Structure 1
Amino acid sequence: MDKSAVTLERMRSFVRVAERGSFSAVARERGVGQSTVTRHVTELEAALGITLLNRTTRRVTLTAEGARYRDQAGTILRLVDEAVDDARSAGAHLRGTIRVSCTAALGVQHVAKALFAFQDRHPSVTIDLGLSDVRIDLVREAVDIAIRLGPLADSTMQRKAIGHSHRILAASRVYLDRHGRPQMPDDLLYHQAIRMSNVDGSDTLSLHHPGEGSISLPFDGRLLIDHGLAAREALIQGRGIVPAHLWLIDDLLESGVLEQVLPDYAPEPVPLSILFVPGRARIARVRALIDVLGDALTGLPGMALSG
């Protein structure tokens, strides 16, 4: 084995191809030609004397040796990154890139401001913010931090539980003046619902009353939306009733544009968490941003903190 040919650059190319399952995706991600990434992996295989990847016209898969080497190389690369980061941060100046993923409405309404303030304090840090309500694979997409609403299935990720985001039923004053104000949950059957099409079970509304317990009823309407900011605009335009997060509409409630509907009945709160790849929190800039985001999110309107 030619150990001098086992370079960090070649290892990085291989590990990312193993994670993404695509030479072309890694080439786009790194801003190089696909031939460069292919060459890195081929040269690494030659240096090691083993086949790391099975290549077909349709897919790239790991060999058994490749799977073992991916885990070992990934550990080495994380240690290298942490060592470089610690050295660069020795003078208390954070630097480098942090990739953040966040649900769109929360990102626009609140998280972006926290990121701007973080950059003002640390001008050598680059933030790459992705806003999407589609849950991504943090390792596959090379994301450092993800802010997620709802139950989690990412059992391999580290988690910082923030709390539960409380929601209320809301509608515009214009809509309620035109269609009437519901007095009991069953009255909702005669109103238009604005439903989130990307939320499982949004055609059923579960409400909790302190004295009566929980009830469920059908929740339907002519408008389905897959973006929280569009739901906010639909509320303003009087399109119907929405179970909305307080952080999304608190300013509209305060101004009187929106009203709370059935204030004695509350939709189920939604858990809010920060996720990150194990080991990434040891990198100083990532650890610092996790702390800043944790503080910002705990101060959101309607947030009940985790115990």
Structure 2
Amino acid sequence: MDSRSGEMLVFVKVVETGSFSAAAQLLNLSPSAISKVVTRMEERLGVLLFQRSTRQMSLTAEGREFHDSCVRILDDIDEAEQGVSQRSASIRGLLRVNVSLPFGTHYVVPLLPEFAQRYPEIAVDISLSDTRIDLQRESVDVAIRMGPLNDGSFRARSLGRSRRVVVAAPSYLQRHGTPVVPDDLVRHHCLNFNFRRSLDEWPFIINGHTTQLTVSGGIMTNNGETMRQLTLDGLGVSRLGMFHVYEDIKAGRLVELLANYNAGDVEDINIIFSSQRHLPLRVRAFIDFMVEKLRIEFA
């Protein structure tokens, strides 16, 4: 009996988890059994799949190529079995999603009831975090992120764009006054993120040129949703994505400041997923649903 598909599964899990012991725990096997499977595959293929040392293990070039092929083959097997299953009409399985906290809170989570009604056999495991994650290492199927795409090993589909704006609550402006020009911000409490120090400089167009203005304040946070709430509470001036504060500005809860000096920098909003050719049906369903429902344009 040909057991190569089982060996491929072992190999893929080792790559995903980063170690023999973690893969062994996931597959209910011993680390030695996992090691023997990988060694047997290397001997049959005549190549090294991993570079091993006492401290770490990494894929070789041949290992990366073989991993991509194994993922496609295992996906094909899974889809073939689903195709002949009596329940093939339904798309099912566990879907792991990671979304930035603001976008997840205001856009994705409100859509989950409709998604669940359309695909009742998909179990959604959603995490909201502004921290960048490794999709493969964290076993995440899809992620939604703002900003440039720096990893060519994943594909993306656009959900829209959003410019950044400087905002404050009316209560804060009543106490501290309204800045008229960017330099006025040096006398204001400017809220900032604590995970990227470069954001202590805010860009403005002054005399036709982009100028980075250093700002400071008494409070920093690690996510946009907390910063929005601090701003709504009147604790300072912040710079956030328009997608995040549009409804607050529309309702008068926040006021856009220094609009004539806005640098016009725009963040792309993308749904990111594996570059493998054959995606599980549940992943395709979620991606298509989000593209259908969301088109954010605040450029």
Give the TM-score category using the shorter length: 0.7 to 0.9
Gaps of 5+ in 2: none
Aligned-pair distance for 1:67? 5.2
Aligned-pair distance for 1:261? 1.4
Instruction: Please tell me the residue identity of whatever aligns with 1:233.
Output: Q
TM-score in terms of structure 2 length:
0.85
Is the CA contact (8 Å cut-off) linking 1:170 and 1:244 kept in structure 2? yes
Structure-1 separation of matches of 2:160 and 2:150: 17
TM-score in terms of structure 1 length:
0.83
Structure-1 separation of matches of 2:106 and 2:246: 11
Instruction: Please tell me the residue identity of whatever aligns with 2:225.
Output: L
SS of the aligned residue for 2:150 comes to coil
Aligned-pair distance for 1:145? 1.4
Instruction: Please tell me the residue identity of whatever aligns with 1:303.
Output: F
After TM superposition, where is structure 1 displaced by more than 6 Å over at least 4 residues in a row?
none
Q: Count residues with an aligned counterpart.
A: 295
Query: What is residue 260 of structure 1 aligned with on the other side?
Result: 256
Q: For residues 131-152 of structure 1, what are the alpha-carbon distances to aligned partners after superposition, in whole Å with 9 as ceiling and x for unaligned?
A: 2222222233332211110111
Structure-2 separation of matches of 1:65 and 1:293: 35
SS of the aligned residue for 1:4 comes to coil
Instruction: Please tell me the residue identity of whatever aligns with 2:72.
Output: T
Is the CA contact (8 Å cut-off) linking 1:133 and 1:227 kept in structure 2? yes
SS of the aligned residue for 1:202 comes to helix
Aligned-pair distance for 1:48? 6.5
Aligned-pair distance for 1:240? 1.0
Structure-1 separation of matches of 2:200 and 2:41: 57
Query: What is residue 13 of structure 2 aligned with on the other side?
Result: 16
Pick one of 1, 4, 20 that aligns with 2:2. Answer: 4
Structure-1 separation of matches of 2:16 and 2:81: 22
Is the CA contact (8 Å cut-off) linking 2:75 and 2:278 kept in structure 1? no
Is the CA contact (8 Å cut-off) linking 1:144 and 1:280 kept in structure 2? no
Q: For residues 68-90 of structure 1, what are the alpha-carbon distances to aligned partners after superposition, in whole Å with 9 as ceiling and x for unaligned?
A: 64344233223223334445598
Query: What is residue 215 of structure 1 aligned with on the other side?
Result: 211
Structure-2 separation of matches of 1:67 and 1:180: 58
- Alignment of 1:233 with 2:229, yes or no, is yes
Is the CA contact (8 Å cut-off) linking 2:193 and 2:223 kept in structure 1? yes
Superposition CA RMSD, Å? 2.9
Structure-2 separation of matches of 1:4 and 1:205: 61
SS of the aligned residue for 2:199 comes to coil
Aligned-pair distance for 1:95? 1.2
Aligned-pair distance for 1:264? 2.1
The 3 A distance-change label for structure 1 pair 172 and 132 is same
Query: What is residue 151 of structure 1 aligned with on the other side?
Result: 148
Is the CA contact (8 Å cut-off) linking 2:98 and 2:143 kept in structure 1? yes
Aligned-pair distance for 1:106? 1.2
* Percent of aligned pairs sharing the same letter: 32
Structure-2 separation of matches of 1:177 and 1:57: 62
Q: For residues 217-258 of structure 1, what are the alpha-carbon distances to aligned partners after superposition, in whole Å with 9 as ceiling and x for unaligned?
A: 112222221111110121122221111122322333233332
SS of the aligned residue for 1:222 comes to coil
Gaps of 5+ in 1: none
What is the 5 A alignment of 1:1-307? 4-6=2-4, 8-27=5-24, 30=26, 33=28, 35-36=29-30, 38-43=32-37, 45-46=39-40, 49=43, 52-53=49-50, 57-62=54-59, 66=63, 69-87=66-84, 92-199=89-196, 201-208=198-205, 212=208, 214-267=210-263, 268-279=265-276, 282-298=279-295, 300=296, 303-304=298-299
SS of the aligned residue for 2:91 comes to coil
Is the CA contact (8 Å cut-off) linking 1:171 and 1:261 kept in structure 2? yes
* Deviation larger for 145-154 or 261-270: 261-270
Aligned-pair distance for 1:94? 1.4
